[in-house]
Structure 1
Amino acid sequence: MAATIDIRQTWAVLSLGLDKILNADLRASSNSGTIKALEKTDYIELYHEVFGYCTKSSSGSRPLGAMQAGARSQSADKIYGKDIYDKLKDFLIEHNKKKLSALSQLRGEELLNTYRHEWGLYDFTRTIIDNIFSYLNKHCVPRAIEADMPGYFDIYTLTVFVWREYLFKPLHEKLVESALEMVRQDRNGVQIRTSALKAFTASLVAMGLDDKENVQGLVGRVEFKPKVNLDVYEQYFERPYLAETRAFYQKESISFADAGSLADFVKKALVRVEEEEDRVHQFMHESTGIKVAEECNKVLVVMHQDALNNEASVLLETEKDEADLKRLYTLLRRVPETLKPLRDQVEKHIAQHARSAIDACGKLGASSEDARKFVETLLQVHEKYLKQINLAFENDTLFVEAMDKALKDVVNRNAVTANGRNSTRSPELLAKYCDSLLKRGSKVEGEQLERRLAQVMTIFNYLEDRDVFEKFYKKFLAKRLVTGGSASDDAEAMFLSKLKAASGHEYTHKLQRMFNDIGTSRELNTKFKNHLRVSGTSLKVDFYVQVLTSHSWPFTAQLNVTLPPVLGRCLERFSMFYQNEHQGRKLMWAYQLCKGELLTHYLKKPFVFQANLIQMAVLLLFNQQLSMSRSQILEATGVDEKSLKPQLDNLRKMKIFKEENEVMTLNEKYSYKKLKIKIDQPVKSEQKEESETTHKMAMEDRKLVMEACIVRIMKMRKRLSHTSLVQEVIEQLQSRFKPDVGMIKKSIESLIDKEYLRRGQVRTEYEYLA
């Protein structure tokens, strides 16, 4: 088809093609990607019609591309193709006015369905029209823009602009009301087809082309992609939709809350929130999702947060099914600020329950059974609420922190600590519980022991006074190692590694040295036995010595005992051997830790007594005589009366001795169901005194650690205010214990007296003295 020059002839061809394109059957066209009313050659001919008119009408003039960039002086009559552009614009306006006339007669869902059909066809043909008139985009439109002529856009933008101004805006009130009415029906349970709503909102998004940016972007560009904004969508649909949503749920939430329980309200609110999310997904722009969620949160959560938190209190107190609590948490989580009261309630509830559980244990002392009750009660509380937080609060870290905060407070401040004279009973009981698990005779073994020790670390991590735990654990470990009372070396090593991971190498350094000493002692005893064999010496008794590094072990009290000759010879032999092996070292014998076995020959059965050194010294005295007074025994053994008396009382209570007028007589009729008898029974008074001594030593060590910390800080800082110094001390020491401000002040005064520090010119400052 030859291109014509006359505008009337050209437009006659173009308008006929446009009419066929804009009024074609979309359903028959959408699958093929072309309009069924036209063949592919027809599109090409229409393009050439535009191209031919613009190029031939400009023949004889300067080339179209020769104009200098940025020129603004070109007259309208030299913008070739402008008349084609104007006629296209008029044609589109008339086309949309006709569609408007037909659509104006409709309402409701019928209007939206018809609008969807018309927009679908128009939207489908916009690209085709833009392609046919693409020559105008490259030459006519840029020149019109450069000539400051208003109302000229690229053809793609023009099609949308005409639809928006001449069809949508005159009809927008009916369209928006029809769309909102369908949403109301959907909210009231009436099933609707959302395809019309989806097409409507999609058309609003498409109509949000940024005219100014598109005009500027078109100039000087070969390829151009129009920019889209959401102004039309937000103004004509989103804002009224949000207002409608707010009003609807304000009214409904009040009726929900008044009509039933708050648990039912929470269920309904969550359903409504999910429905609104689905609506956004089905027929709205994704950006609306956040705004809809905010509106729902305001009227369903924030407006009712006081009532919801009261409901949380009821659910926690009654300990109902976690499902209700989880739904409440899920709703409140939508507004993170509303979770704080719930988190505070959870923390308070856990603390109250834990304290009540400890109170239910009754008065607890320092026995292994008391330690077991205390620790296992705390573990049961922890397990219970960890499960609840996992199920009801989806393991939210904020709620885990709330549980940890509550249990930390209870572990360190409870009925047990309040009843004692100090607040460090919890570390003592935990160390005692560890001892009961790790010493020989424990019924807990294998994987169960490993699991129990892992649980112990849960409580350990809550301890503030870890230095006190270290003191007691060290004392109990020392006894297990010295007496060979550990159930498993592997279990001991495993728990030591857990302590190291929780508190660092320095915390477990001395504990590790204790294990090293035991290994060294084994090697030393092997050498000693070889030495005796080579020298041909026989000690007549099975003798074993443990050599321990004094500063690594918690043994300070000394016991004076006049050793029986048979034991004295053994110690003398070993001392000579050790001095030859390690010259310059001094052995200090810890008699209070010595134990042994004595075989009886005076009874019908050969019993074996497992005794401590004092008991051994006393019993061996009766190899020469059957009776001795207490004073004679005291003189013969050389043991002080305070240490001897409870041991003699134990021997009498076990009926090994009979006593009359303070004369101890060997019971020759003694009998027992077992042949091996442990007569070394703990003395309660000694246990209590030992516990108090350990606490006292922990406090003394704490003072030294605190002073060392203050000196270390001041040596680095040189000058520091009182407040800053106290704060730094607390930060550095809180991993070992919770420093008391009063104790820090006393330590500072002590260091001033010792001339490590002095007060500065400002009384609230301290200076370090080198």
Structure 2
Amino acid sequence: MKSSPHDAGADRKRKRASRHDSNDSAKQPTLQSLFAGQQKPHVNGAPTSPTSKRPKPDIPQPCTPPKHSKVLATREMYTFSSRSPIANGNGVIDLTNGSPPTSPQARRVNGAVKSRTGINSHTGAKKLVVKNLKTNTQWDSKAYLEKIWGQLDEALATIFKDRHDGVSKEDLYRGVENVCRQGGASTLFSRLEKRCKDHVNRDMRVPLCEKGSEDSIAILKGVLGEWSRWKEQMVTIRAIFFFLDRSYLLPSSKPTLSEFTPQLFREVVFNDQVLKDPTIEGACALVAADRTQSLGFNQELFKQAVDMFHELSTYTATFEPRFLALTQDYIATLSDEMIVEKSVPGYVALADQTIAKEMARCENFALDTSTRRDLLALLEDHLIQLKDTDLTEYEALASMLDNNATADVKALYALLARRRLGSQLKDAFEKWVNETGTGIIFADPADDMIVHLLSLKRRMDFTWQTCFDRNEQLGHALRESFAVFMNKTKKSDATWGTDNSKVGEMIAKYVDQLLRGGMKAIPEVLTARRASSITGPRPVVTSSGQPLEEDNEDADVDEDEEINIQLDQVLDLFRFVQGKAVFEGFYKKDLARRLLMGRSASADAERSMLARLKTECGSGFTQNLEQMFKDIELGREEMQSYKDRLGDRIGYEKGVDINVNVLSAAAWPTYPDIPVAVPPNIKRAIDDFELHYKSKHSGRKLDWKHALAHCQMRASFGKGSKELVVSSFQAIVLVLFNGLSYDEHLTYEYIMTQTGLPEQEITRTLQSLACAKLRPLTKHPRGRNISPTDTFTVNSLFEHPKYRVKINQVQLKETKEENKETHIRVAEDRNFECQAAIVRIMKSRKIIGHQELVAEVIKATVSRGVLGVGDIKRNVDRLIEKDYMEREEGGQGRYSYIA
């Protein structure tokens, strides 16, 4: 290296340094030897690969150099020889030719080079070029690959023998990593793949194929055992070849070791023709054993088989189709046998058990969702869809409904509802309700008709709500069937030869029974606070919408609330009745008795029923009924006015205390005038009231109905005095015995002559006084029937625990004559209504055909009670005779209106 011309001293020093460096050139390290010396020796003398990780040395103390390296001063590390000239005079120092030149350590300051001897501003910046720093090693990667594979092959042989001794997984992992880093990953995987295939084929498939003559379950056990063994072996292999798996297989298109494990076993073992079918059949045989409840079912073995099918990705392609095919054969045979051998309830129960068991197996053994879906569809097809005709036949459903088998009906509907076939029960259900209801309304006697109808309605409502899950079509069928059978009519002795609806009459009488008797009149099977023996427990909702507890027999239920519940239930039946004129006629007659006799249990209940009828039928239906209530109120006001007037009279002596109800003849039922000889004191009181009434209301006429009157009278018997509540006819008869001793007899003829009553009325009255449970009179001779030769005396032995005694009153009992009269009157009214409807239709249409006229008349009179087609034709003929209409000549059954 040339020295600067202006620095001779520095040149001499540089020469001495050069000579010193030339003498110690062997000791002075170069950059190449420096970097090469930093490589650490391989542990335990083993050769080290260029890419292998070196073990970390012990961390030295701060500022303490490592023991194995030499600390070099800066001037020793970077020295420059004078023999190294500047290449081509470009200011580039070549560090590759010999030792670097010796010079003082320089430091660049503000673009100039500052040395120990001073600043040389003429030399300028120098460019350092470093060449050939990489050490040329003699490493053989192929030899290293072979060495590592030898160790891996020996380890694989040990693993395949299910042994783990003498294998250092960490060293093997290091070897695999080094081979992969040197580019030998592809070769390493190829050798591993071939080695595993040979092992699976030779050590697993071949021994399993030798057992091909065994049964399918034994082969399945063998395959599962080898599969479990293969998975355990691959766990160890994956740990050793983990670096190969992550660095080479994962980024490439080759299968990872996790994918390689089931893939190799599937291709070599499972897909073998000798092993595949028996393995699948073995799993299906386990299911068959479970279905037949045999002892051959191994739950754990079947679960392992299903898991293996999932892990090998052969579940959908192999096991599922075979499983469903065998299940279809089993279910088809089972369903055909069950439907023949068992009743419908038994079949339904077994079908539910079968479906539940099959679905539970899918859930417990993790069968695929597709299997669960297809299996359920298969079960429903064979157990329900293909057997719907047998399940919905009338005899089966009728038997369950007759026996009130609610649980069986509910199970049947639930089974059919799986395929939305519940509505197919409509025909059988409607037929059963129709036949059952028809039997009730035409039963003889018909006294308990309404109780049975209400019980039937409650049962069917309960069945529809709980068993049929409020199915809309079945609900329509229930309502339609009630509307049909409740309006069936036939001319019989019960309706006195008319075609009136018996149901309307019986509903009116049942309402009368409720309103007269209150809560005591409610039958036990219909009470809201007890579970009915007919319907079983069901929730009952009060009129306020609150549920009542039926199971608690001691629960306190308000009487008014109980009566309202019963009235609501009766009104449900009333809605189905088309001939409401029959109900109106009997209800009006019974209401008049209750109001006149004061026999209503609750005035609020009476008003509540009237409000219900008005809402249901309109104000025109209840107009007369409302007038009856108004007459009773006006009668009370009139009596108060009469009594006030009597009190104002000077010298008035109070006699008989009478109470008179003035009724509007148009609103109340018509009552016959029965002749009777009224006692003189009562006659005077009646005449006095009539004089008072006519003085206030001129031009009105009063007709006295003594048959509807009742009175209270005091009587003395041998065992004490009593206050008797009797009818007016009974009182007139009892007055004849005033002043007579107990042994004095009055003949039948004498009583009839003195009272002036007709024979029919006197017989009925004497029978109530001498032949009933309470007998203030004694009949001679004793008997239940009254004859003209009988005589009567006062019963000296008459007694009763109460002072005030109600004697059986004939006014409260309907006679056959009254019943017949009501039916005939209703039938006549229906004919008049039919004729009025025909006239209205003809007046609006002028000309109309016969069939169309009949249809219009039925539509117009349906709310009051429809007549038969023959009766309508007879009314048409009557109107033709009265010149309201005429037949058109050549009109082919057409009528024209005559204005």
TM-score, structure 1 length as denominator?
Answer: 0.61
Query: Residue deviations 1:572-606, cap 9 Å, x none?
Result: 11111111222222111111101112223576633
Over 3 Å counting, the alpha-carbon distance change for 1:418 and 1:244 in structure 2 is farther
Q: What is the match of residue 316 of structure 1?
A: 400
Q: What is the match of residue 364 of structure 1?
A: 445
SS in 1 for 2:848: strand
* Structure 1 CA distance for aligned equivalents of residues 262 and 382 of structure 2: 29
Q: What is the match of residue 226 of structure 1?
A: none
* Structure 2 CA distance for aligned equivalents of residues 452 and 769 of structure 1: 50
Q: What is the match of residue 865 of structure 2?
A: 737
For residue 265 of structure 1, the aligned residue among 347, 351, 375 is: 351
Structure 1 residue 456, shift from structure 2 partner: 1.6
Q: What is the match of residue 565 of structure 2?
A: 451
* Structure 2 CA distance for aligned equivalents of residues 726 and 611 of structure 1: 51
Over 3 Å counting, the alpha-carbon distance change for 1:352 and 1:107 in structure 2 is farther
Q: What is the match of residue 248 of structure 2?
A: none
SS in 2 for 1:375: helix
SS in 1 for 2:701: coil
For residue 518 of structure 1, the aligned residue among 632, 651, 656 is: 632
Query: Residue deviations 1:181-220, cap 9 Å, x none?
Result: xxx99x99946999999xx9xxxxxxxxxxxxxxxxxxxx
Q: What is the match of residue 768 of structure 1?
A: 897
Structure 1 residue 405, shift from structure 2 partner: 3.6
Q: What is the match of residue 848 of structure 2?
A: 720
Kept in 2: contact 1:656–1:670 (CA 8 A): no
Q: What is the match of residue 391 of structure 1?
A: 466
SS in 2 for 1:542: coil
Kept in 1: contact 2:398–2:432 (CA 8 A): no
Structure 1 residue 260, shift from structure 2 partner: 4.2
CA RMSD of aligned residues (A): 5.1
Query: Residue deviations 1:16-57, cap 9 Å, x none?
Result: xxxxxxxxxxxxxxxxxxxxxxxxxxxxxxxxxxxxxxxxxx
For residue 680 of structure 2, the aligned residue among 543, 565, 584 is: 565
* Structure 2 CA distance for aligned equivalents of residues 109 and 584 of structure 1: 115
Structure 1 residue 753, shift from structure 2 partner: 1.6
* Higher mean displacement: 701-710 or 311-320: 311-320
For residue 691 of structure 1, the aligned residue among 819, 833, 837 is: 819
1:382 has 2:382 as partner: no
Q: What is the match of residue 796 of structure 2?
A: 669
Over 3 Å counting, the alpha-carbon distance change for 1:727 and 1:621 in structure 2 is same
Amino acid at match of 1:559: I
Amino acid at match of 1:342: L
* Structure 2 CA distance for aligned equivalents of residues 418 and 192 of structure 1: 82
Report matched runs for 1:86-125 at 5 Å.
none
For residue 606 of structure 2, the aligned residue among 492, 511, 529 is: 492
Structure 1 residue 334, shift from structure 2 partner: 5.8
Over 3 Å counting, the alpha-carbon distance change for 1:598 and 1:270 in structure 2 is same
For residue 760 of structure 2, the aligned residue among 642, 667, 679 is: 642
Kept in 2: contact 1:250–1:300 (CA 8 A): no
Kept in 2: contact 1:600–1:607 (CA 8 A): yes
Over 3 Å counting, the alpha-carbon distance change for 1:251 and 1:442 in structure 2 is closer
Amino acid at match of 2:625: L
SS in 1 for 2:726: strand
Could you tell me which runs of 5 or more consecutive residues in structure 2 were left unpaired when the two chains were aligned. 1-250, 267-283, 289-301, 340-346, 363-367, 522-558, 782-787
* Structure 2 CA distance for aligned equivalents of residues 374 and 663 of structure 1: 39
Amino acid at match of 1:608: E
For residue 428 of structure 2, the aligned residue among 341, 345, 360 is: 345
Over 3 Å counting, the alpha-carbon distance change for 1:330 and 1:248 in structure 2 is farther
SS in 2 for 1:395: coil
Amino acid at match of 2:645: H
* Structure 1 CA distance for aligned equivalents of residues 831 and 815 of structure 2: 25
Kept in 1: contact 2:677–2:757 (CA 8 A): yes
Kept in 2: contact 1:363–1:416 (CA 8 A): no
* Structure 1 CA distance for aligned equivalents of residues 871 and 841 of structure 2: 17
Kept in 2: contact 1:416–1:426 (CA 8 A): no
Over 3 Å counting, the alpha-carbon distance change for 1:246 and 1:680 in structure 2 is same
Query: Residue deviations 1:358-393, cap 9 Å, x none?
Result: 89xx8526xxxx3xx332222222222322222221
* Structure 2 CA distance for aligned equivalents of residues 585 and 275 of structure 1: 91
* Structure 1 CA distance for aligned equivalents of residues 380 and 851 of structure 2: 44
Over 3 Å counting, the alpha-carbon distance change for 1:298 and 1:568 in structure 2 is same
Identity in percent: 28
* Structure 2 CA distance for aligned equivalents of residues 713 and 273 of structure 1: 66
Structure 1 residue 544, shift from structure 2 partner: 0.4
Structure 1 residue 699, shift from structure 2 partner: 1.0
SS in 2 for 1:443: helix
* Structure 2 CA distance for aligned equivalents of residues 383 and 526 of structure 1: 47
* Structure 2 CA distance for aligned equivalents of residues 769 and 244 of structure 1: 85
Structure 1 residue 346, shift from structure 2 partner: 1.8
Structure 1 residue 616, shift from structure 2 partner: 2.5
Over 3 Å counting, the alpha-carbon distance change for 1:191 and 1:390 in structure 2 is farther
Structure 1 residue 472, shift from structure 2 partner: 1.2
Amino acid at match of 1:644: I
Structure 1 residue 565, shift from structure 2 partner: 1.2
Kept in 1: contact 2:511–2:567 (CA 8 A): yes
Over 3 Å counting, the alpha-carbon distance change for 1:540 and 1:258 in structure 2 is same
SS in 2 for 1:398: helix
For residue 435 of structure 1, the aligned residue among 499, 509, 512 is: 512
Query: Residue deviations 1:2-26, cap 9 Å, x none?
Result: xxxxxxxxxxxxxxxxxxxxxxxxx
Amino acid at match of 2:669: P
1:701 has 2:829 as partner: yes
Amino acid at match of 1:424: S
Report matched runs for 1:209-608 at 5 Å.
251=329, 253-258=331-336, 260=338, 262-263=347-348, 264-265=350-351, 268=354, 301-310=384-393, 312-313=396-397, 316=400, 319=403, 322-333=406-417, 338-339=421-422, 341-353=424-436, 363-364=444-445, 370=447, 373-412=448-487, 421=496, 424-440=501-517, 443=520, 445-536=559-650, 537-600=652-715, 605-608=720-723
Report matched runs for 1:155-194 at 5 Å.
190=306
Structure 1 residue 258, shift from structure 2 partner: 3.1
SS in 1 for 2:520: coil
Amino acid at match of 1:582: H
Structure 1 residue 438, shift from structure 2 partner: 0.9
Over 3 Å counting, the alpha-carbon distance change for 1:245 and 1:323 in structure 2 is farther
Q: What is the match of residue 77 of structure 1?
A: none
Structure 1 residue 547, shift from structure 2 partner: 0.8
Query: Residue deviations 1:613-649, cap 9 Å, x none?
Result: 2232333344477665544443433332332233234
Q: What is the match of residue 155 of structure 1?
A: none
Report matched runs for 1:615-630 at 5 Å.
615-623=730-738, 629-630=747-748
Q: Give the number of equivalent residue pairs.
A: 556
Kept in 2: contact 1:417–1:425 (CA 8 A): no
Over 3 Å counting, the alpha-carbon distance change for 1:244 and 1:401 in structure 2 is farther
Kept in 1: contact 2:717–2:798 (CA 8 A): no
Kept in 2: contact 1:656–1:666 (CA 8 A): yes
Structure 1 residue 434, shift from structure 2 partner: 1.6
TM-score, structure 2 length as denominator?
Answer: 0.53
Structure 1 residue 451, shift from structure 2 partner: 1.8
* Structure 1 CA distance for aligned equivalents of residues 568 and 495 of structure 2: 28
* Structure 2 CA distance for aligned equivalents of residues 191 and 462 of structure 1: 63
Could you tell me which runs of 5 or more consecutive residues in structure 1 were left unpaired when the two chains were aligned. 1-97, 114-183, 201-236, 238-242, 277-281
Query: Residue deviations 1:437-464, cap 9 Å, x none?
Result: 1115762533222222222223323334
